[in-house]
Chains A and B, each alone.
Chain A
Amino acid sequence: MSMSESNGRELTFGDAIREALAEELRRDPRVFMLGEDIAEAGTTFKVLNGLVEEFGKERILDTPISEPGFTGLAVGAAMTGMRPIVDIMFGDFSGLIMDQVANQAAKIHYMSGGKLNVPMVLRTTMGAGRRSAAQHSQSLHAWYSHIPGLKVVVPSTPYDAKGLMKSAIRDDNPVVILEDKMMYKTVKGPVPEEEYTVPLGVADIKREGSDITLVATSSMVYVALEAAKLLEEIGISAEVIDPRTLVPLDKQTLINSVKKTSRAMIIDEGYEQYGVTAELASVIADGAFYYLDAPVKRMGAMNVPIPFSPALEDLTIPNAKGVFEMAKSLCGK
């Protein structure tokens, strides 16, 4: 996506998401949103500001503070002709809704032998660094990715966020989108005026390189890109790949890249233990084993509850310096 394609128009990550939602609300009267403080308040992150004015309180529906209840209500509405978009303010509240998502939404199509389906989108947040402590900072996309029947989207750029959101809303399966709350206002990028979608299940090469593949998700794409710059200064050419969706996963793009570079490192903000990094590392080890010159390395969030103190919190998230050091040693430098 280049600036010329967007005619120079740039949107923040949050504005791109809002634009996708507004376009799909206009396009399909069955689409509606529900969640806590999403109407006049526009969510706690103000991402939905202005939508209630255009679409009214019936389609931008404020709910009681009952995450399992309104998530389940959306499942039932999706099964019977509506296309709900659920807003779960913090990804940490995933624990509250997991029965409705993992046992109901994800399995209804299968359990019914294909008779029923659940075309719903569940938007929630991820990402630490906001000094919000252990119950408002986690990145729990691995939980959703573990459950067959769900699709899982972790966009990194405004362009991808908008295009993937539109695809998710048009998808007939339950799709979970995890948006890094730290990127809503800080990340800005080109987004064309014209209609477009980004298909689910297609990875994107965010930077081309030849010596090492850095696979990174969500905000970790920026950490990887920064590390790639540092690596370039010492003569290492890093390729940065963003899977964009964890389910379905574009395995081939990952494998092809590593076949070319012979080295790989995975960076993700979920907890490292049993995490997304492990799954992606195994995909690469399986698919490109005979091309590898070094073990596949991975870096996730530290395996600790996320602490409040800035001095401690910052230690738990992968950063460019850390990625640079690990990549450098992988390349034998």
Chain B
Amino acid sequence: MSQMQTQEDLARSDIDREQWLHMYEQMFKIRAFEEQVNELYQAAKMPGLAHLYIGEEAIAVGVCEALKREDYITSTHRGHGHCLAKGASVDKMFCELLGKEAGYCHGKGGSMHIADQDTGNLGANAIVGGSSAIATGAAFSSKRLGNGRVAVCFFGEGALGQGLLYESMNMAQLWKLPVIYVCENNLYNEYTHHSESTAGSMRARAEAFGIFTLEVDGQNVREVHEASRRLVERARAGEGPAFILCNTYRYLGHHVGDIAREYYRPKEEELMWRNDHDPLKMLSSWLTENKLADASIFEQIESSVQSEVLAAVEIALNAPFPAPEEVSKHVYV
């Protein structure tokens, strides 16, 4: 009996091992992607701006790994991580960020509007909280059409200032819609600490609607993932919406150009998060401590992802811009 359990445990830990290594790869892919975006910006090779997700990778990955390909997500201005975690390819992402024809939206969306129907990505949204009703509507369709799909709405704690979110949560709970509101609390509404903008408790906002609510360490991908699986199962079983508060940190500025940040947050705070709460380090330490992986595996993953990302940057830099005719296509169906 005890032997069987051990075997089961071993089998389980094998699945775990593959799963966690895959998540490590996904998180590393997001980080490597974002680092390249930063370099492209600094080298003046990217038009406009971008809002980097570095530091928050565990949330996108932990949540999206609990979803099926056909499940829906809506994303934010800080959305590259969500898109990649849901299955977007790095070359089409870079192409879009550089405004190239081969990008996800033929270069018409850019960094803040990447959408990919094939992976259930209903689009990043540059209006803070702007997609909360859209995600809720996608969940409404799922319920009406009976297709079992779950919708995940990603947003930062800044969106807690938007009334639309509360209108959406109210309807989701009234109609028991399969939608999960994922609040990424990275502490700062742009350049302002949430304590200056957000009264009372964050969780209590969802709890007031009777919505099932969890709070997790958003730097710990295992914790995010276990919680997400539970919420996705609930949603699929018809038990209605959920709200998950993920405590996290944005390592870099509000956008790539936000370099001098000391007027709103000290360097020590940034270092503390990077050193003591890094999602990649936390997962690799745990895997190593539990003898599920060693340093060589991480090196392998990192070098293979890094080459994929660098190759994608090259593809995007050399890809053609859209032809002028593209400008008036897709205004209407």
Contact = CB atoms under 8 A, between A and B. Distances in A.
Contacts of A4: none
A80 B113 contact: no
B240 to A, nearest CB: 15
B164 A81 contact: no
A69 interface: yes
B137 A75 contact: yes
A149 interface: yes
**Listed residue (A69, A116, A149, A171) with the most chain B CB atoms within 10 angstroms of its CB:** A69
B247 interface: no
A77 interface: yes
B104 interface: yes
B133 A73 contact: yes
Contact of B140 (A77, A104, A148): A77
B225 to A, nearest CB: 25
A72 B137 contact: yes
B126 to A, nearest CB: 8
Given A114-B330, A151-B332, A74 B108 contact: no
A75 B133 contact: yes
A111 interface: yes
B274 interface: no
B133 to A, nearest CB: 2
Contact of B167 (A58, A68, A148): A68
Interface residues of A, number: 42
B72 A69 contact: no
Contacts of B170: 64, 66, 69
A70 interface: yes
Nearest to A84: B137
Given A69-B171, A81-B145, A99-B127, A109 B332 contact: yes
A265 B117 CA distance: 47
Contacts of A5: none
B161 to A, nearest CB: 14
Interface of A: 32, 58, 63-64, 66, 68-82, 84, 99-100, 103-104, 108-117, 119, 148-149, 151, 171-173
15 contacts: A71-B133, A72-B167, A74-B137, A76-B131, A76-B140, A80-B138, A99-B130, A104-B130, A110-B330, A111-B105, A113-B103, A113-B108, A114-B329, A114-B330, A114-B333
Interface of B: 72, 74, 103-109, 113, 115-117, 122-123, 125, 127, 130-142, 144-145, 151, 163-164, 167-168, 170-171, 174, 329-333
